[in-house]
């Protein structure tokens, strides 16, 4: 087991990418030091540790640096093997990675685009792509407690943002990608996910999130209209 000095995480309180790494560390009981970043004024430390993407999360373990949240989850799972996140079966592992990447590239990215777009064709198209992909995710969770089976696993952590961030983005973007009536299995799963004690204690406050994303949206809209 690592001691606290061994593991450091550079993060941002409101980031879904950072939270999934924190959830993994907490589920495995790995102590870590958390360093909050100001992504509008990035620290020399962040720029030095993650010069390629300059994004959080960044995990530092015994002086070695890993960036990109999905790669960090894999690194954590391979380094601390107890309470495994990824399934053992190679096919199941491939499927967990496949659906994580679908959720990220189709649901998350399009939900973000939709939230940050004015009413119109671009927004409609993004909503369509996100909802279509969410429909596929609904098929994956149907009949299961968690994507990982009986316990939270890699795919639960990957899709975890749907439980809180997506409803907030829907509110801020005046849209309804996550229609609970349309995706009842996903809705039931978000209820279970959010009630898990580790997750429940490690969620940002919803009201602060709304303020943060409203501001973020305005800034992005303003920069688009000046482009
Ligand atoms: N694909 C990355 C995305 C990370 C990301 O976009 N992080 C945001 C915070 S939510 C960030 O650091 N943004 C700073 C920037 O883009 O300049 C991951 O999964 O780690």
**Domains and their CATH numbers in the chain:** 4-79 (3.40.30.10), 90-218 (1.20.1050.10)
Closest C-alpha to ligand 1, atom 5: 55
For the record, the structure tokens of 223 come out as 């920069």
Q: Give pLDDT, residue 1.
A: 46
Which one, of 76, 96, 79, lies nearest residue 26 by Cα?
A: 76
User: How much distance in Å is there from the Cα of 77 to the middle of ligand 1?
Assistant: 21
- What integer pLDDT is reported at residue 5 of this predicted model? 59
Residues in a beta bridge with 35: 10
| pLDDT of the residue at 4 | 45
Distance 29 CA to ligand 1 centre (A): 24
Atom 1 of ligand 1: nearest residue by CA position = 68
pLDDT at 227: 72
Question: How far apart, in whole angstroms, are the C-alpha atoms of residue 163 and residue 178?
Answer: 9
- State the closest ligand 1 atom to the C-alpha of 39, by its place in the atom list counted from 1: 14
The answer to whether 9 touches 34, Cβ cutoff 8 Å, is yes
Rounded to two decimals, the pTM is 0.96
The pLDDT score that the predictor gives to residue 226 is 76
Using CA atoms, how far apart are residues 85 and 28, in angstroms rounded to an integer? 9
> Is 39 near ligand 1, meaning CB less than 6 Å away?
yes
18, 69 contact by CB (below 8 A) = yes
Cβ pair 176, 130 in contact under 8 A: no
| Predicted pLDDT of residue 222 | 93
How high is the mean pLDDT in each 10-residue block of the chain (227 residues)? 73 98 98 97 98 98 97 98 97 98 98 97 98 98 96 98 98 98 98 98 98 97 84
């Amino acid at each position: 087991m690592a001691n606290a000095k061994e593991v450091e995480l550079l993060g941002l309180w409101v980031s879904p990418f950072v939270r999934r790494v924190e959830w993994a560390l907490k589920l495995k009981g790995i102590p870590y030091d958390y360093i909050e970043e100001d992504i509008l004024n990035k620290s020399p430390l962040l720029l030095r540790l993650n010069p390629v993407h300059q994004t959080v999360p960044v995990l530092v373990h015994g002086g070695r640096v890993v960036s990109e949240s999905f790669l960090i989850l894999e690194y954590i799972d391979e380094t601390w093997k107890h309470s495994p996140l990824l399934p053992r079966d190679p096919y199941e592992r491939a499927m967990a990675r496949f659906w994580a990447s679908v959720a990220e590239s189709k649901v998350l990215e399009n939900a973000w685009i939709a939230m940050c777009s004015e009413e119109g064709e671009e927004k409609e198209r993004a909503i369509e792509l996100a909802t279509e992909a969410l429909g596929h995710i609904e098929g994956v969770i149907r009949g299961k407690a968690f994507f990982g089976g009986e316990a939270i696993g890699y795919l639960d952590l990957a899709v975890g943002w749907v439980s809180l961030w997506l409803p907030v983005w829907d509110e801020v973007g005046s849209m309804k990608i996550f229609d609970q009536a349309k995706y009842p299995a996903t809705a039931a799963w978000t209820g279970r996910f959010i009630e898990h004690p580790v997750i429940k204690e490690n969620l940002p406050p919803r009201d602060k999130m709304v303020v943060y994303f409203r501001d973020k949206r305005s800034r992005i809209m303003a920069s688009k209209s000046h482009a």
